[in-house]
Structure 1
Amino acid sequence: MPPSYPKFYLLPSSREYKCDDRFSLHPTGGQVEDENGQVPFWPVLRQVLSQPVNSTAGLIDILDTISVTLRGTSKPAGDYELLLEEITSLSCNIFFEKIWPRLVTVALEMPVLFPDDQLPVLGQNRASNHLRFSRRQVACLAVHQFLRTLSVPSWRDDDGTHDFGIWYSSQQRQPSAVRAYLRALMLYFSEVVCEDEQIDIGVEDWAVDYTLHFLPERYDEIIAEDRPLAELKVVVVEKYDTSPASLGVDTNRQAVVLSSNKIVGFGQSATQEEVHVGISPEACPIVLVTPPLGKEQILKVRGAQAMVNIIGKGRDITVETGMPFREGSQTAWKQRTMLFMDALELDLVDGGGLTDLGTENMARETAKAYTAFSSSLDGSMSEIRTGLWGCGAFGGDPEVKMLLLWLAASTAGVKLMVVCEDELQTFAQRLQDVVHMMQQTVCGTVFLRNLLQEIPKGLSRGETLEWLKKGAQRASQTSEAQGGAA
């Protein structure tokens, strides 16, 4: 039985959202205390946000009051040093005169924007798989993540990764990454939340969609059908980045694969998932409504705008403020598509040989990728863009993983683009050569799937492409010989 999660996520505007009135801020005080001595939080928040704020000290007082009221501590925000550093670099005048008043306004609109005072949680069944927000609605949620008014979803650890407080302290594992996320957040507040023409776009013109896709029930029948091998293009770049082109925004209907964890979201370092979500405040509320991904589930996010370009990976990153855009292409962000696919953590698996080649492992990864790629059948995308999904920290072998993605893309009938840094030029060329050779034959998805299953399990890392090339050549020669004999 799959684990059971709540059907709804309670919002701070609900009368059932309670707190200890530690500072006696509720307007009617003890008259509304329940049997546990708690009061509804929303009137307390309204009282807190009614106080004038025109300095960093005043802002910290507000944030501390909210945090201590709800959880008895300001952790993990700590000294707020990085947050204050970003506000100062932006200009305190801009923040307190322009941004803060708008944040208060949008935050207090929650009962109007979410009249049910709760959000449906994705994935209770195949029918509860889609949430659509207006930009103003998702801005309201992001502002509450900034204010730290939100509770920890039941499926997440109480480590602060459901709101932005993890970015505020000077004590960071990777300060450069956290500074980039705070810069993105402030730009989002300034350029989107504070601009009526951005935040008031109707949902019919620009929606932010969170969709949980399930493996089709007909999957076994689908993979039994032989389909032509999809176009696969390998692109070598000097460094990875998050420019519009790299996020699929400047191209026609391109979706980007993210090597995500089962519990999706943002963090304090610079994994691919943390970077792509952290620079995209409109994607951050996924943490509130997305339980851990099941082995037959992926999350698709559409319409979340990224605010900064991060160049490089891991600890070797630099930040380019703002986005290099062509004239008139701003609204292209509403087409941006992010595919959250959790890969197996093969570095945690013991055993000899190449773990990627285990029959169950290959089947699981191919099904996961097909679930993501087949979401293109709604016409929203025609090409999948991916880095080395499931490699790096996940421990996967790039050769095996890219072949499995190619098989999944071919089965879904969608083109695949693999992006590699220039240090992987040799791998990129070998992958392109094998793909080109196989595309010249008459083989399709059934042949490729069978060939992958025949790969010796004892192969070492980096030997798969060579074996596959020879295997395809042998099969092609056998087919030609049989044809000649006939």
Structure 2
Amino acid sequence: MTSTPEIYLLPSSPTFTCLDRFSLHPDPDAIEDSNGHVQFWPILTDVLSQPITSAASLVDTLETISTTLNGTTVPANDHLLLRNILEETPGFFLTIWTCIAKVALEMPVLFPKGYLPVLGRKSNEASFTRRQIACLVVHQFLRTLRAPAWRDDGMHDFGIWYSIEQRQKSAARAYLLALAKYFRDVVAKLDGEGGWNVVYTLRSVKSMSLSEDGEGLPLADIEIEVVAEYDTLPASLGLPGGAAVVASNKDVGFGQSATQEEVHVGISPEACPAVLITPRLSDDEVLVVQGAQAMINMTGKRRDIKVATMKAPDSEEKSWRDRMMLFMDALELDLDAKGAGLPDLQPGNVDREIRKAYTAFCSGGFRGVRTGLWGCGAFGGDPVVKVLILWYAASLARIKLTVVCDEEIRPVAEQLDAIVSAVNGHYSFRNATDIRQLLKDGPKDLRSHQQTALWFMNRLGAK
């Protein structure tokens, strides 16, 4: 396995080179390395100095950049979806593009070392001004960035959204709308460094006595909240004063469909550079992103998602600086066809999920956490077990937990609410360790959510 590098090289670095396929380097006598490559930055500077007055000329520029660096425009291909969005964005070619190009060319000043620190190597935290973040996002848009050493899925720049043929066109279109709004409302209006920093932190709690840490701690406040449909308004993202769980993959980031992670990152361009500096999460790691502004509201889920108007947080727009995104990857669980029982309740799996959730919840800086049914969709987790795990972790972290369900899964929410009420009303449940014991008592041969909910309600004497 290739070791994770300590740095991520930026295109402004003198050591970031390419084959000058179209003889674009402004210096005809540019020094070539042993592979015949020249420094990329002078080429980009020259390319971005050309006038851009239409979607067609911008696409020509993007194709030139992609082909110069990689020999291909894949996966952008026809760029038709991008063209549509840009043509719908008022003033893009009159004023916004000039700001984009300006911020892009500030990279050598904004990042004088020519690289970014990779999280977990020498430091677990990277803090950037909003202007620095804008520069990185712009380069993800321009596709001047190469994939980090630990990624080979193409999900490091925005070219995955540009073609008209999409796995889920409504999702890709929404993410491009969010990006266009970010360019218009943030990048084009940046004042100095931008007002606050966006901070990426890789957190890990390696030593933790899961059987004893809850001794004497009261059960956290918990609420099972049913909403008509999911949205990404500030209150749903934890503002003010709270945080929101992002049910992530081990490789955090954005994508082409509408998973919860892809939605939360795709509507928040300032969270997107996380892919450049965050290696694959280990079982005891979470990523916390603070200060990324969400640009649009997305309602619904999966193929029914829609774009709606985003509202500013109640206590002014700059409250976005306090937004906390908790990237937590759940175990991918499948029921064994041979009848091995519910994998959720295997001791190693329970401990892993508790440690993951606790690591996120004890990050600090917030008083409560909002989450969906973490790990219960494509990853196959059992809702009852997962909610009990999250409740236990919230109790250890001494924060309030809000579990959000939509109308489609109201019956599940009602079962969860009944179990929560039974725990809170049970004479023998007094502290967090009682939840841990309840999880230990769960029979390992349960086979489905209905069986799990029934067993726990019977164990608690719930009706």
TM, length-normalised to structure 2: 0.95
Root-mean-square deviation (CA, aligned residues, Å) is 1.8
Matches of 1:358 and 1:326 in 2, distance apart? Answer: 41
1:279 pairs with 2:267? yes
Post-superposition shift, 1:404?
A: 0.8
Post-superposition shift, 1:246?
A: 0.8
Equivalent position SS for 1:151:
coil
Post-superposition shift, 1:240?
A: 0.5
Could you tell me whether the CA contact under 8 Å between 1:216 and 1:371 is conserved in 2? no
Counterparts of residues 331-350 of structure 1 (less than 5 Å): 331-347=318-334
1:48 pairs with 2:47? yes
Post-superposition shift, 1:175?
A: 0.4
Could you tell me whether the CA contact under 8 Å between 1:452 and 1:468 is conserved in 2? no
Equivalent position SS for 1:466:
helix
**AA of the residue aligned to 2:358:** Y
Matches of 1:39 and 1:222 in 2, distance apart? Answer: 59
161, 166, 176: which one pairs with 1:167? 161
Give the equivalent residue in structure 1 for 2:11. 12
Matches of 2:460 and 2:251 in 1, distance apart? Answer: 38
1:227 pairs with 2:217? yes
Post-superposition shift, 1:468?
A: 2.5
**1:423-442, CA deviations, whole angstroms, 9 ceiling, x for partnerless residues?**
22222222222222222334
142, 145, 155: which one pairs with 2:137? 142
1:323 pairs with 2:310? yes
> Which segments of 5 or more consecutive residues in structure 1 lack a partner in the other structure?
475-486
**AA of the residue aligned to 2:420:** V
142, 147, 151: which one pairs with 1:152? 147
Could you tell me whether the CA contact under 8 Å between 1:300 and 1:337 is conserved in 2? yes
Post-superposition shift, 1:466?
A: 3.2
Give the equivalent residue in structure 1 for 2:180. 186
103, 109, 112: which one pairs with 1:112? 109
Distance 1:19-1:247 versus aligned 2 partners, 3 A rule: same
Post-superposition shift, 1:350?
A: 5.8
1:258 pairs with 2:253? no
Matches of 1:339 and 1:140 in 2, distance apart? Answer: 24
**1:142-191, CA deviations, whole angstroms, 9 ceiling, x for partnerless residues?**
0000000001101001x321000010001101000000000000000000
> Which segments of 5 or more consecutive residues in structure 2 lack a partner in the other structure?
none
Give the equivalent residue in structure 2 for 1:242. 232
Post-superposition shift, 1:361?
A: 1.1
296, 304, 313: which one pairs with 1:308? 296
Give the equivalent residue in structure 1 for 2:277. 289
Give the equivalent residue in structure 1 for 2:434. 447
Distance 1:336-1:350 versus aligned 2 partners, 3 A rule: farther
**1:46-85, CA deviations, whole angstroms, 9 ceiling, x for partnerless residues?**
0111111112221111111110110000111111000000
1:359 pairs with 2:347? yes
**AA of the residue aligned to 1:71:** N
Give the equivalent residue in structure 1 for 2:69. 70
**AA of the residue aligned to 2:435:** L
**AA of the residue aligned to 1:365:** E
Matches of 1:70 and 1:464 in 2, distance apart? Answer: 53
1:466 pairs with 2:454? yes
Distance 1:154-1:402 versus aligned 2 partners, 3 A rule: same
Matches of 1:349 and 1:193 in 2, distance apart? Answer: 50
Post-superposition shift, 1:89?
A: 1.2
Matches of 1:215 and 1:471 in 2, distance apart? Answer: 32
Could you tell me whether the CA contact under 8 Å between 1:49 and 1:104 is conserved in 2? yes
Matches of 1:350 and 1:152 in 2, distance apart? Answer: 38
Equivalent position SS for 1:375:
coil
Could you tell me whether the CA contact under 8 Å between 1:18 and 1:41 is conserved in 2? yes
After TM superposition, the structure 1 stretch with the greater mean CA deviation from structure 2, 404-413 or 223-232, is 223-232
Q: How many residues of Structure 1 are paired with residues of Structure 2 in the alignment? A: 458
Matches of 1:55 and 1:267 in 2, distance apart? Answer: 27
Give the equivalent residue in structure 2 for 1:479. none
Matches of 1:350 and 1:69 in 2, distance apart? Answer: 50
Give the equivalent residue in structure 2 for 1:95. 92
TM, length-normalised to structure 1: 0.91
Matches of 2:204 and 2:336 in 1, distance apart? Answer: 26
Matches of 2:29 and 2:189 in 1, distance apart? Answer: 40
Matches of 1:220 and 1:425 in 2, distance apart? Answer: 31
Matches of 2:400 and 2:329 in 1, distance apart? Answer: 21
Matches of 1:356 and 1:3 in 2, distance apart? Answer: 31
Matches of 2:324 and 2:205 in 1, distance apart? Answer: 19
**AA of the residue aligned to 2:387:** M
Matches of 2:224 and 2:210 in 1, distance apart? Answer: 29
Give the equivalent residue in structure 2 for 1:477. none
Matches of 1:293 and 1:268 in 2, distance apart? Answer: 21
Post-superposition shift, 1:359?
A: 1.4
Give the equivalent residue in structure 1 for 2:356. 368
Distance 1:83-1:302 versus aligned 2 partners, 3 A rule: same
